[in-house]
Chain A
Amino acid sequence: MTYFISGGAKCGKSSLAQDLSVALSKGGRHYYVATMISTGSEDNDRIRRHLADREGMGFETVECFRNIMDCLKIADKNGVFLVDSVTSLIQNSLFPVEKNYEMDLAGANRCADELVEFSQTVRHAVFVSDYIYSDAERYSESTEIYRKCLADIDRRLAKTCDTVIEVSAGQPIIHKGDLCI
């Protein structure tokens, strides 16, 4: 089973994704794919909060900052993969820190292609993304490219995943498939 979950900030996406992943694993191996490259104390705090949230849930952490297929070098593809978040993977690929955040569109496209391949390769996956498309702001060109890249992979994953859920104030809105497992 594959799930795609999106929604606004702090709406309960990650909690739902964690619960789904544990339920899907039925006691088997479940991996938390850590995607965020920390850029300082604010990020470290967030990572600590997420770690505390997951404590006792039995996740194995796999670090992956860009190309998701690399996870399968160390993890079992028959496990459950919680990918939190698609946003981070695209951001890390499109604006690589090693290249001083200079835009790398080819890198972002490769990242997106691997996400689709990954969703079709592993047994169970839960992808978490961020809905950043409904505000009245005229953004810079590079921000618009980032929004479009993320929207494109969101749509591709929504197409390929069994279930698509939007979370609002902790409540799931099912756009496709079924929540029950």
Chain B
Amino acid sequence: MILVIGGAYQGKMDFVKDTFDITDSDVYNCDKAEIDFSNRCIYKIEEFTALCDDPIGYFETHQDEWQDSILILQDIFCGVVPMGAENRAWRQRTGRLAQYLSQEAKQVSRIFCGLEQRLK
């Protein structure tokens, strides 16, 4: 599994398309509390974590399905602690999932202004 992280609008998807020969038909856009891992590339995992209470548990349960996937997760961990309890919980769930996934990943790339920084 390859994990691609980075802030909003930094070019994560463009990097994945350029580097791994991914097209739109390979991409699953997260928008609910479950993920269809039959697509090669899973995008906007931060939208999945916004809706799923136990994202690490979910990924563990489906472990066999994403071993060869490219996972794209927005880095939402660096701002001011959000005022709303819901956003605070979202931020924490997402950060914990990022740690779990980066441990499992064979490659971790952070995208900064369109440029790759290899973290693992």
Contacts and interface: CB of A to CB of B under 8 A. Distances in A.
Interface string B79-106: 1101000011011001000000000000
B76 A135 contact: yes
Nearest to A152: B9
Contact of B7 (A133, A158, A159, A175): A133
A134 B113 contact: no
Interface in A6-36: 6, 8
A176 interface: yes
Contacts of A158: 112-115
A136 B87 contact: yes
A136 B94 contact: yes
Contact of A166 (B77, B94, B112, B114): B112
Name the prevailing secondary structure of the B interface residues: loop
How many chain B residues sit at the interface, stated as a range, is 20 to 34
A133 B10 contact: yes
Contacts of A133: 6-10, 75
B75 A175 contact: no
Given A6-B113, A154-B113, A158-B115, A134 B9 contact: no
A156 B5 CA distance: 20
A131 interface: yes
Given A134-B77, A136-B94, A166-B112, A151 B10 contact: yes
Task: Specify which of B9, B78, B82 lies most central, judged by the most chain A CB atoms within 10 Å of its CB.
Answer: B9
Contact of A135 (B10, B78, B113): B78
Nearest to A144: B8
A176 B117 CA distance: 10
A98 interface: no
B114 A137 contact: no
A99 interface: no
B10 A155 contact: yes
A136 B114 contact: no
B112 A138 contact: no
Interface string B42-80: 000000000000000000000000000000000111111
Query: Which of B75, B80, B87, B112 neighbours the largest number of chain A CB atoms within 10 Å of its CB?
Result: B112
13 contacts: A133-B75, A134-B78, A135-B76, A135-B79, A135-B82, A136-B82, A137-B87, A147-B9, A148-B8, A151-B8, A157-B113, A159-B114, A175-B113
